[in-house]
Amino acid sequence: MTGDAARPVLASTPDGYEIYGGKCDGVYVIAERDGPVVGAFYAVPGSPNWWRGHTFGKVRQVFQPGDVDPPAVAERFMSR
């Protein structure tokens, strides 16, 4: 899954995963470069700095303090 005009890559994590989305509905998708989707996450409405998501078959909720940076949140979800 590589970015294209309809679905540009928002960012990449240091370990090579790509992050898509966030612009329209607030949902971010994590995918392997040229591969399958491995997760998705979104901000919890009404709960600043809390995020819910699903990666590698696990549902998780994480707290990301400070300014929200989607790649940093993705890394938190990717840590097993």
pTM over 0.85: no
Residue 1 pLDDT > 60: no
pLDDT reported for residue 15: 84
56 SS3 class: coil
If one compares 23 and 78, the residue with the highest pLDDT of the two is 78
Pair 52, 27: CB distance under 8 Å: no
pLDDT reported for residue 16: 87
pLDDT reported for residue 6: 56
Largest Cα–Cα distance of the chain, in whole Å?
A: 35
Closest CA to 50 of 76, 71, 15, 19: 76
